[in-house]
Chains A and B, each alone.
Chain A
Amino acid sequence: MQTKKADGDEKPKFQSFTVDETTYQTLLTPSFEKRKNWVKPDEKKILSSLPGTAIQVNVKKGDKVKVGQTVLIFEAMKMMNTVTAYQDGVIKDIYVKPGDKFSKNHLIFEFE
């Protein structure tokens, strides 16, 4: 595996890196380079909290839902789990159908 070594013939490619308004020349780590910029979560978009398989979809586009109403039943971690509406509202769209496999943070449905 590659070691991060400063000496030798090749000079490593240093990059600018700022902390406390001072810019240093240094190497970056893969995890730093791969970090994701934070974006404010869109409260109208409901994402899956677990990876799983959709079993039963209880709503369709345009449906009015009440807080606590079950929108989706999905199988994950050897259990049946539910996605419920956290507020009263109208379903703008639902993005899963029974049998769909989805990963964590997959867009399940959207409020208008």
Chain B
Amino acid sequence: MPLKNKILELQKRRELVQQGGGEKAIEKQIAMGKLTARERITSIVDKDSFNEYDLFVEHDARDFDMDKVTLAGDGVITGTGTIYGQPIGIYAQDFTVAGGSLGSMHARKITKIMDHTLKMKMPLIGINDSGGARIQEGVNSLAGYGEIFFRNTLSSGVIPQISVILGPCAGGAVYSPALTDFVFVVDKISKMFITGPEVIKSVLGEEISQEDLGGAKVHSAITGNAHFYAESELECFEQITKLLSFIPWNNIKKATKIEPKLPNTKLKIDKIIPEDAKQPYDVRDVIKCITDESDFFEVQEYWAANAVIGFGRIGGETVGFVCNQPLVLAGVLDCDSSDKMARFIRYCDAFNIPIVTLVDLPGYLPGVDQEHAGVIRHGAKILYSYSEATVPKVTLILRKAYGGGYIAMGSRHLRADFVFAWPTAEIAVMGPEGAANIIFRKEIIAAEDPEAMRKQKVQEYKEKFANPYVAASKGYIDAVIEPHETRSRVIHALEVSTYKDAGMPKKKHGVPPF
């Protein structure tokens, strides 16, 4: 065969596989409001940077007449590319090919690119759009999932792992995203659950739509399984590239420091905290007053909104914010907000991102439901994560820091490197009302007018203890600062932390209160 023909043959073979499941299946995919797997990859990576591998991989299933079936690329596209000119590994399940079902060769393509990304120390982006296990391949498809989960775990804390749910992701398939760092979902497209509506209906008689059971909104607001919610696939891809602009490419590197820029918000940092200490404010307004260009990239915005976490830059350097949100539930800690904060702290610590903690909380959420849901072990996760984190830790107490909440929120005692407080800070063993009722119980009962006495004692307690100066007198906080000094203080703290080296005892790993 002449060379020309051999090249023609290659072109023909390529073209055939690149059509995926064929025109009809692609039409269906588009009708569902979805992009094709190939479009998704090329929309995420730098233009013309995608290099595909394993295009000609074929499954080797023999049962159920599978030997007569050819599946283009075995239903998944894998390869490498660049984002911001930096290398990444990526795969996208192709729903047009046998519903993106996962068989052993499909899984092997994925694990091959996973091994590659881990070795090359670059981020991995996995696009999920699959009906689940390829039943005809039996236990081999289960083996495939297991091999993926194992690699997700090995890569955890070494390279950033991003999961993008752009279609169904059900049954065992959900556990790969769950093991990765960030899960992106898109309204009306993403569907994640362990058991689908049909099984639930047959077992329970309960009828629920896929959307209501495990749609994008559900996972963004109720379960906390998703970290980023978008209205469209293109918005989702912008979120992915924005995330990658903040984080380092692996756990050896630091995030790229860029040219520092001043905050550009019109908000006045000295005027955010209301006069009345019982009134709320949006802690994100404080963040905007101290970050470069007032930019804040929030993670898990809609779930456990009494905690705010996310990335911003201060003086050109990426930091992770961990904050109480007085706007929602007065900023209390509860099971969900504890999980949210603790995991994010561990992410930042694994990837050398300094943590800036903004504190304003009245304590833990009271209630039988919280106690029975295990707020003890959930709350302990925050203590564990802060204590274990060796990245620079800067804590700023804005207003209330009472009781266990004070200790948990990046306190000196958990080895914060810098603890600042605003003059509005109230650092005390508990809120003035509660404390006065206990300490002055006898006086209040004995008084002629107990209510007046109670008020007087609360006031006394407030004046004496609801301030930052008792804690400052013990050196538990390093400086009481004016709000407008915050940014320069944090920038300096980060500079001073450049060579931070906090030793930890040698161990295989700890036993965190999962």
Does B bind A? yes
> CB-defined interface of A70-100 with B at 8 Å, one 1/0 digit per residue?
0000001000000000000000000000000
Smallest Cβ-Cβ distance to A23: which chain B residue: B278
Binds A, one of B120-128, B175-183, B251-259, B300-308: B300-308
Known: A1-B220, A27-B280, A30-B221. A21 touches B437 (CB 8 A): yes
Query: Does A103 count as interface, using CB distance less than 8 angstroms?
Result: yes
| B326 on the A face (CB < 8 A) | yes
Residues of A within 8 A of B278 (CB): 22-25
Let me know if B328 and A1 touch, CB within 8 A.
Answer: no
Question: Once the chains bind, are B328 and A26 in contact (CB under 8 Å)?
Answer: yes
Interface check B229, CB cutoff 8 A: yes
Q: Are B280 and A26 in contact (CB under 8 A)?
A: yes
Whether B362 sits at the interface, judged by CB under 8 Å, is: yes
Residues from chain A with Cβ under 8 Å of B30 in the complex: none
Chain A, residue nearest B431 (CB):
A20
Q: Is the CB of B204 within 8 A of A29?
A: no
Evaluate contact between B366 and A19: CB separation under 8 angstroms: yes
Interface extent on B, as a size class?
Answer: 35 or more
Q: Count residues of chain A with CB under 8 A from any CB of chain B.
A: 32
CB–CB A20/B402 < 8 A? yes
Indicate whether A6 sits within 8 Å of B204 (C-beta atoms), given known contacts A20-B430, A31-B222, A35-B367. no
The 8 Å CB contact of B327, one of A1, A20, A27, A32, is A27
Task: State how many angstroms separate the Cβ of B449 from the closest Cβ of chain A.
Answer: 19
Also in contact, A26 and B329, with CB within 8 A (given A1-B221, A7-B285, A35-B369):
yes
The answer to whether the Cβ of B270 comes within 8 Å of any Cβ in the partner chain is no
Asked whether any CB of chain B lies closer than 8 Å to the CB of A45, the reply is: no
Residues of A with C-beta under 8 A to B369: 35-36, 38
In the complex, are the beta carbons of B280 and A14 less than 8 A apart?
A: yes
Q: In the bound complex, do residue A19 and residue B431 qualify as a contact, i.e. CB atoms below 8 Å apart? A: yes
B367 near A51 (CB under 8 angstroms)?
Answer: no
Residues of B within 8 A of A20 (CB): 362-363, 402-403, 430-431, 433-434
For A29, the chain B residues whose CB sits under 8 A away are: 304-306, 328-329
Q: Are B330 and A101 in contact (CB under 8 A)?
A: no
Q: Is the C-beta of B432 less than 8 angstroms from some C-beta in chain A? A: yes
B129 within 8 Å of A by Cβ? Answer: no
Tell me, in angstroms, the Cα distance from A25 to B368 when the chains sit together.
22
Q: Is B74 an interface residue (CB 8 A)?
A: no
**Cβ–Cβ contact B280 & A22, under 8 A:** no
Instruction: Say yes or no: A38 contacts B368, CB within 8 Å.
Output: yes
Pair A4/B305 contact, Cβ less than 8 Å: yes
Minimum CB distance partner of B187 in chain A: A1
A24 to B369, CA, bound (A): 21
Q: Which residues of A contact B206 (CB under 8 A)?
A: 103
CA distance A29 to B334 in the complex (A): 12
User: Is B279 engaged at the interface, CB distance under 8 Å to the other chain?
Assistant: yes
From A22, A36, A51, B433 is in contact (CB under 8 Å) with: A22
Chain A residues contacting B372 (CB-CB under 8 Å) are 38
Picked from B220, B327, B432, the residue with its CB within 8 Å of the CB of A4 is: B327
* Chain B stretch 167-203: residues in CB contact (< 8 A) with chain A: 187, 203
Q: Tell me the bound Cα distance from A59 to B302 in angstroms.
A: 50
Q: What mask results when residues 246 to 282 of chain B are scored 1 for a CB within 8 Å of chain A, else 0?
A: 0000000000000000000000000000000011111
- Chain A residues within an 8 Å CB radius of B365: 19, 32
- Supposing A20-B363, A101-B205 touch, asked if A1 and B437 sit within 8 A by C-beta, the answer is no
* In the complex, residue of chain A having the shortest beta-carbon distance to the beta carbon of B281: A6
A106's nearest neighbour on chain B, judged by CB, is: B204
| Chain A nearest CB, measured from B369 CB (Å) | 5
Instruction: Looking at the assembled complex, report how far the CB atom of B404 sits from the nearest CB atom of chain A, in whole angstroms.
Output: 11
Q: When the two chains form their complex, are residues B229 and A21 in contact, meaning their CB atoms are under 8 A apart?
A: no
Partner among B229, B282, B433, B437 whose Cβ is within 8 Å of the Cβ of A6: B282
Q: How far is the CA of A36 from the CA of B326 in the complex (A)?
A: 23
**Residue from B282, B367, B430 within 8 A of A5 (CB atoms):** B282
CA of A30 to CA of B328, assembled, Å: 11
- Residue from A3, A4, A23 having most chain B Cβ neighbours under 10 A: A4
A28 to B327, CA, bound (A): 9
Within 8 Å by CB of A22, from B302, B403, B434, lies B434
Does chain A have a CB within 8 A of B336?
yes
Nearest-Cβ distance from residue A14 to partner chain B, whole angstroms: 6
Specify which of B217, B301, B329 is in contact with A17 (CB 8 Å cutoff).
B329
Which of A3, A14, A52, A101 makes the CB contact (< 8 A) with B301?
A3
In the complex, residue of chain B having the shortest beta-carbon distance to the beta carbon of A12:
B327
Q: Are A51 and B203 in contact (CB under 8 A)?
A: yes
Interface flag for B332 (CB, 8 Å): yes
Chain B window 333-359, contacts with chain A (Cβ cutoff 8 Å), 1 for yes, 0 for no:
000100000000000000000000000
Q: Is the CB of B366 within 8 A of A22?
A: no
- The one of A1, A5, A21, A37 in contact with B217, judged by C-beta atoms closer than 8 angstroms, is A1
Q: List 10 A-B contacts (CB under 8 A).
A: A3-B302, A6-B327, A17-B329, A22-B278, A23-B278, A24-B279, A27-B280, A27-B305, A38-B369, A52-B203
Question: What 8 A-B pairs have minimum CB-CB distances, sorted nearest first?
Answer: A38-B368, A24-B330, A21-B433, A6-B282, A20-B431, A19-B362, A20-B434, A26-B330
In the complex, besides A17-B330, A20-B362, 14 extra interface pairs with C-beta distance below 8 angstroms are A6-B280, A7-B282, A14-B279, A19-B332, A20-B434, A21-B437, A22-B434, A24-B280, A25-B280, A26-B326, A26-B328, A29-B328, A35-B367, A103-B205
Interface residues of A (CB under 8 A from B): 1, 3-7, 12, 14, 17, 19-32, 35-38, 51-52, 76, 101, 103
Q: B residues within 8 Å of A by Cβ?
A: 187, 203-206, 217, 220-222, 229, 278-282, 285, 301-302, 304-306, 326-332, 336, 362-363, 365-369, 372, 402-403, 430-434, 437
